[in-house]
Each structure stands twice: as structure tokens, then as C-alpha cells.
Chains A and B, each alone.
Chain A
Amino acid sequence: MLLIPILFGVTVIVFGIMVLTPGDPAILMLGENAPQEDLAALRERLGLNEPVYVQYGIWLARIVQLDFGRSIRSGRPVTDEITARLPATVELALLATLLAIAVGVPLGVISATRPNSAVDHTATVVAFTGLAMPVFWQGLIMILLFALVLGWFPPSGRLGGWEYYVLPTITLGTSAIAAITRMTRATMLETLSQDYVRTARSKGVRERSITYRHALRNAMIPIVTVIGLQFGALLSGAVITETIFSWPGIGRLAIDAIRSKDFPVVQGVVMVFALMYAFVNLVTDVLYAYLDPRLKTRYS
């Protein structure tokens, strides 16, 4: 199984990036005017006097126990900071994924079953524009229109009501809607031209049944693949969306940590994002076997 070596590689990259960071973590934590003895003691305690590979070993041994150290800014354990904010990010990412599937798949199917119709052209325009629209600009325009001008939804925050979820979810989900629509349309067009679809039609099977039971089922593997890939894009988008909408998730935590050079928090958040992405890729692989029983037979 490649997942473990790859995650191990990710730890090397995340640790390596932070080692290359200019500046002394001890000075960042205690301030430039701290006494030399205190700085030396802290360097000793953090293992900063050890060779880099020893530092990596110590860090790796800690993070496998989900101990990412302490935040330089708040002094609290990074794991606590992440755990407190992770539900908000997961919630937003899941809602955006559900929205993208709920809109993207039907739009792609309708578009493929009626090629060159008005619906198809509209879907193409939606897909092209959705992929070109930067999430930060879309977020600001949504706030301007639906919060400041029309007053339908609150411009920021997450205070509990459903109305707080609408704008961030749509903002985050738009590019995924576009990608899923395009992939569904392309794959469905290919599947609908297959011999078994023609056979089903000649046997008098209803068009609706052909579309959803024969064609869509067989087109699902590339669609599920793109949904899995889009989850990575959603995690990236979550960083910006959370910043725009003051959403208290780990994306915003990462940006605040970068601004205050709180590197243990940055490392922790990046590792958690990598774990989430790896988990979704794993789920995608498992879904392949469910969607295409031939794969299960081949590998069993």
C-alpha cells in the first residue's frame, strides 16, 4: 500500500519547508529582546541544537502521536487549536462537495442527453465561467450582492443559523460544480454512444432508464475521480473562503499563523489537510470497486 510511504514523504516535505525558513524559532517564540540564556535553554528544549535529521526524527515521532507542538502565538497545543476549528472546515467542505455533486452531475447528464440544446450551451458557459472565477473574487461579489445590497444573508461569521452557510458554500462549491459538470457531460457522451446503450434502446428500454441505470452507472468512475480531485481544490479554496467570510476553520487558522510566523500551527494544518486529502483519495479508490465490480474481481 503506497499511502503510508507517500504520507511519510509529505512529512519530509513539510518539515523540509519549515527548516528552510529564515529566522530562529526561539527568537520568534520569546522575542528579539529575550535574554541569551533563555534563548539557549529554549533551543536546547526544542532540540534545535541537534542535526537536522535528528530534529526530523523527534518531530516525526511526535506527529505520529498527533502532537504538533505548541503554538508560538497562543502557547496552546497545536492539536487543540486544530481540533477546535476542524469541524467548521469539514462542515463547509462537505456541504460544498454535496452542492457540487447535486448540481454538477444532473447538469452534466442533461447537457449530454441534449447536446447542442440551450441547456447544453448554458451548462458549457456555466462550466467555463465557474472554472475561471477566482474564489476570492466570487466571495466578495456574493457578499456585495446578497449581503450588502439585498441583505438576504449575513456577510460573515458562523453563528449557527443555516443562513450563515449559504454564501460560503456556494462560493466554495462553484468551481467544483463546473469541473463535475464538464466531466459528467464528456463521460456521458462517450458512454451513450456505446453498443450496450444501443442494444438497450433497440430492446425498447425507456430513455430515462437508459440514461440513469445504464449510462450514468458506467460513467461514474471518471466522475468519482474528478469529485475526489476536486476535494483537494476545495481544501485549497477553503483557506480563502474562510478568510473572506471570517469562517472559524483551519484554513483561516493557517493564514493567521502564516501572518504571525506561527510555524508549528502552519505545519500542523498542512499535515491535517494532507491527511484529509489522502483519506478522500482512499475512499475514492474503495468506491471504484463498488462502482465497477470487475475491478474487485481483478484484485481479489
Chain B
Amino acid sequence: MATTSKVIPQRRRSWFALMRSSPRTAIGAVVLAIIVMAAVFAEGISPYPPNQQNLRSRLQPPSAEHLLGTDHFGRDVLSRIIYGGRVSLQVGFIAVGIALAIGGLMGLLAAFYGRWVDSTVSFFVDVLLALPGFLLALAIVAALGPSLTNVMIAVGIANVPQFARITRSAVLQVIEMDFVTAAHAAGSRDQRIMFRHVVPNSLSPVIVQVTLSLAGAILAAAGLSFLGLGAQPPTAEWGSMLNSARPYIRDAHWAVTFPGLAIVVTVLALNMVGDGLRDALDPRRRD
């Protein structure tokens, strides 16, 4: 009896199709684009330099001159939020980059070589996961000392286990495929198989994790700065802005309200885009 094999074409959804099918993702992407543009062109669009003090107009409420008011040094809150976005995004990207580089490589090696490499990496990941991420970052910053660079390192290391796990499971699926077996049979070197064949085909879940981890990294970095362990004065950073405005909350709530809203909107946008991407790349997870 002749058998007919039905080939189901894999339809890769374009970015535009994803935006059209999910308004939530589209809104998140547009908001994120605005935040990134504002951070990139901060010099051009911010009304004042971020550290320009004017003690005669300190703790001024929002007005035409200062759209989001001024802080206790008379600095323009809107300008500091715009510049703070640049710092927060930079911290988020670098921290996630560190996590991706270390965790991704660990996951790749663990899945590709298996055996003792896999057991060692998995044990190390389990150990790191035994400490809540923010506490691990806190302990690392406590040891290295308060600074923005150390926050990036700490938040990056705290995110390593997630990337190791995601990459490991993605690579485990890919290395079972025929083209990888064919590459082995053709005598390709391990390095070539990993980086030419396996990595490009394991990227989807990793990209989703990057988006979601960016949100977490921005939150964690702002939290550490809020505790005085990250960005140091007078650097405009959302968490440190909240910390320095805290004593004046009764008289100048705008200096606390708006930087916090900036964090909420950014994280919300990143989560919306991350969720949309996850739904698009893995329809089983769509609710």
C-alpha cells in the first residue's frame, strides 16, 4: 500500500504579521521604540542638561517650564528621566549580554557534549538557582563594592542560570535533528557544527529569554541603585533618582512618581514584546 506523506510547511510569522495579530505586542513594541529613541537622542530632546542645578527652583511642581517638575537640587525631572533611560537600557543590555555569553556557552557545551560536562553544568546551574537572583546579585555587589559596572556584572551573573537552562534545552532538541547527524557524518569539526548549524537553529527561545530578562535586569539594576549600591550621584538613573527623592516625597511627589512610572512603562513594554514573541515562536504556550 502506498503511503502518502503529508508535509506541513513551517510558516515563519513575519514581524509585521505578529504585530497585526497581537495588538498588545504592537503597543509594547511602539512604546519600546519610543523609549530607545529617546535614550539614543537624549541630547537633542531633553530640555535641560541632566545635572544642571538651579537651587532657586528646587522642588517645583510640573509646569510649562519643567514639564515633570524639579528635584531637590532644582534639576529637571524630565531631562533626568530621559538620560536615566539611557543608563537603565545600557545596564540592562550589558547585564543580559554577560548572562547570554556565559549562560549560553554553558548550555551549549552541556547539551552538545553531554555526560560529565552536562552533569557539571547542570549542578552549577542548580546551585546558582538555589539563591534567589536578586539576592545573588546583592551579595556580589556587596563584595565588589557599589558601582554601576559592578551592578551590570552582578545582575549578569544572577541571570546566567536562566540562559544556561534555556540554551541547553533548545540545543538538546536541535542536536537530535538529521542535519546535525549529517554534519557529523561529513566530518565537520565540533566547533563548526556548534556555531554554523546548532546555534542558529536554537536561537528562538533564547531571543524570547533575552527580551524577558532585559525587563528583569532593568528592575534588578534599578533596585540595587535604589538601595545605594548601583549608580552613584549625580548620575541620572531611575533607581537612584527614586532613592534621592525619597526624603522629599511629601513635598515633591513628582520626583518619585515619574521616574517610577518610567520603569513601569519600560518593563511593561518589554514584557508585552517578550510575551508576543514567545507566543509567536512557541504557539503551545499561547493562552
Contacts and interface: CB of A to CB of B under 8 A. Distances in A.
Interface stretch (B169-177, B189-197, B203-211, B225-233): B225-233
A189 interface: yes
B179 interface: no
Contact of B128 (A13, A237, A258, A259): A13
B123 interface: yes
Interface in A123-150: 128-129, 131-137, 140-141, 143-144, 148
B112 to A, nearest CB: 23
9 contacts: A12-B127, A13-B136, A20-B143, A132-B264, A133-B264, A136-B226, A136-B242, A140-B260, A141-B260
A274 B131 contact: yes
Contact of A259 (B127, B143, B228): B228
Interface of B: 123-124, 126-128, 130-136, 138-145, 215, 219, 222-223, 226-229, 239, 242, 246, 249-250, 253, 256-257, 259-260, 263-265, 267-268, 271-272, 287
B268 to A, nearest CB: 4
A247 interface: no
A273 to B, nearest CB: 5
Interface of A: 2, 5-7, 9-10, 12-14, 17-18, 20-22, 128-129, 131-137, 140-141, 143-144, 148, 185-186, 189-190, 232-233, 235-237, 239-240, 243, 254-255, 257-259, 263, 266, 270, 273-274, 277-278
A223 B50 CA distance: 45
A140 B138 contact: no
Task: Pick from A18, A128, A263, A266 the residue with the most CB of B within 10 Å.
Answer: A128
Contacts, number: 133
Contacts of B126: 2, 6, 9
Task: Decide if the interface of chain B is mainly helix, strand, loop or mixed.
Answer: helix
A9 B264 contact: no
6 tightest A-B contacts by CB? A137-B260, A9-B127, A236-B134, A232-B132, A132-B267, A132-B268
Contacts of A132: 215, 263-265, 267-268, 271
Task: Pick from B138, B145, B219, B271 the residue with the most CB of A within 10 Å.
Answer: B138
A277 B215 contact: no
Contact of A10 (B130, B143, B219, B227): B130
A278 B139 contact: no
A22 B141 CA distance: 12
Contacts of B257: 141
